């Protein structure tokens, strides 16, 4: 899908391609999502330089994500998406700046992108130039990252309450710790993906400050670029704090599971100590030797019962006194 935009006083306005299927001359920004080969050629003609392939945007080398070629500056960040549908994934998002023209290349319907369009089309947005489009996109991505971190933090706090808070109703069964461990793992995965996304975004801002020139790094644009960098670093600090809290909850959950298992073993051990003496007495009188004097004794059976009960009660009272029960 390819959409061309021109910039007016009201922000970006989508315009159709011309009769030859090319981007009109008044277009300043082209957004391409999951491009076809034909859309690749149209966008490359608009920029005057080639577009990277999806495999190239997914390379981990810095030189494969951030470079200048044929007068165009290429910057690729890894963004977290799919949280709304419960399938969080990392996807590449490429911004290409060639003079006063800009192109964005993406493979997912990013919520940050939709938020930027909704904001940029307002008359007061000030999104009337290529630097404003670039900075507005970056700021929308940062805002979306902050929203994701707020969601993760709220979920982690909820899990913390379920792990440690006492239930007001003792008859209400507590949630299984095994399920909470699974939720903690999911939040840890989200936090890890968000940390990777923020790290790539910080590298993009650093590279933009060095590679872009002119209106991108002067005046208000320069101040916005620096502020975006500070916001990104503060979010990285926040995700590091959340990750530490998740690790603590994971260790605490595993520790509580171990405590519960030890409690079960303790109860079984105490029960074994209580019922061992009656079992011993019953085993002795269950032997079938001919010369056992109690076999002919009329009080032998009730006495054996009394001995078994007493041998169970005495250990029970002793364990109770010692606080083992």
Residue 165's pLDDT band (boundaries 50, 70, 90)? low
* Residue 313 pLDDT exceeds 50: yes
Average pLDDT in the chain: 80
Name the segment(s) of the chain with CATH classification 1.20.58.340.
264-322
pLDDT band (50, 70, 90) for residue 169: very low
Least confident interval from 126-130, 203-207, 239-243 = 126-130
Among 10-14, 16-20, 260-264, 315-319, which is the least confidently predicted range? 260-264
233/215 Cα distance (integer angstroms): 24
Where are the domain boundaries for CATH 3.30.460.20 in the chain? 2-259
Give the confidence band of 324 by pLDDT, cuts at 50, 70, 90: low
Q: Which residues contact 213 (CB under 8 A, 6 or more apart)?
A: none
Give the span between the Cα atoms of 296 and 306, in whole angstroms. 18
Longest dimension (CA), the chain: 117
Report which DSSP code applies to 60: -
Q: For residue range 16-72, list pLDDT tens digits in order.
A: 877 777 877 788 888 888 888 888 888 888 888 878 878 877 877 777 788 888 788
Q: What is the mean pLDDT of residues 74-100?
A: 85
> In angstroms, how far is CA 18 from the centroid of its own chain?
43
User: What is the radius of gyration, based on Cα positions, of the chain?
Assistant: 34
More confident residue, 266 or 173: 266
Query: Domain 2-259: which CATH class?
Result: alpha beta
- Helix (H) or strand (E) holding 233, with range, is helix 219-284
Residue with tokens 């023209």: 101
The Cα–Cα gap between 23 and 6 comes to 10
For 262-292, the pLDDT digits (tens) are 777 777 777 777 777 788 777 777 777 667 7
245: buried, middle or exposed (CB in 10 Å: 19+, 13-18, 0-12)? buried
Q: Under a CB-based contact definition with an 8 Å cutoff, are residues 294 and 300 in contact?
A: yes
Return the sign of the alpha-carbon dihedral for residues 49, 52, 57, 59. negative
Residue percentage of the chain with pLDDT more than 90: 0
CATH node for 264-322: 1.20.58.340
Cα dihedral value 22, 1, 62, 221, nearest 10:
70
Residue 201 in 3-state DSSP?
helix
Euclidean distance between CA atoms 239 and 299, whole angstroms: 76
- Res. 96 pLDDT band, cuts 50 70 90: confident
């Amino acid at each position: 899908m390819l959409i061309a935009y021109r910039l007016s006083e009201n922000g970006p306005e989508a315009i159709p391609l011309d009769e030859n299927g090319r981007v009109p001359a008044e277009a300043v920004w082209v957004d391409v999502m999951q491009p076809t080969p034909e859309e690749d050629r149209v966008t490359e003609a608009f920029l005057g330089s080639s577009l990277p392939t999806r495999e190239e945007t997914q390379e981990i080398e810095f030189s494969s994500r951030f470079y200048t070629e044929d007068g165009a500056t290429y910057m690729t960040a890894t963004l977290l998406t799919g949280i709304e549908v419960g399938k969080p994934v990392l996807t590449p998002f490429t911004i290409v700046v060639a003079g006063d023209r800009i192109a964005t290349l993406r493979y997912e319907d990013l919520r940050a992108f939709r938020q930027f369009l909704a904001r940029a089309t307002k008359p007061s947005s000030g999104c009337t130039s290529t630097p404003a489009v670039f900075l507005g996109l970056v700021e929308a991505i940062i805002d979306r990252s902050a929203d994701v971190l707020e969601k993760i933090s709220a979920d982690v706090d909820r899990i913390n309450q379920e792990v440690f808070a006492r239930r007001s109703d003792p008859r209400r069964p507590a949630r299984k710790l095994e399920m909470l461990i699974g939720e903690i793992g999911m939040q840890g995965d989200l936090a890890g993906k968000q940390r990777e996304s923020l790290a790539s975004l910080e590298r993009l801002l650093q590279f933009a400050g060095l590679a872009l020139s002119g209106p991108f790094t002067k005046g208000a644009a320069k101040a916005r670029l620096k502020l975006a960098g500070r916001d990104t670093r503060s979010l990285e600090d926040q995700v590091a704090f959340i990750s530490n809290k998740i690790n603590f909850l994971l260790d605490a959950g595993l520790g509580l599971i171990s405590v519960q298992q030890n409690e079960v073993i303790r109860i079984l051990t105490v029960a074994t100590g209580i019922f061992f003496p009656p079992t011993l007495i019953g085993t002795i009188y269950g032997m079938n030797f001919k010369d056992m004097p109690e076999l002919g004794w009329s009080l032998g059976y009730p006495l054996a019962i009394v001995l078994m009960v007493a041998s169970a009660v005495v250990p029970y009272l002793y364990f109770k006194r010692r606080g083992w029960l």
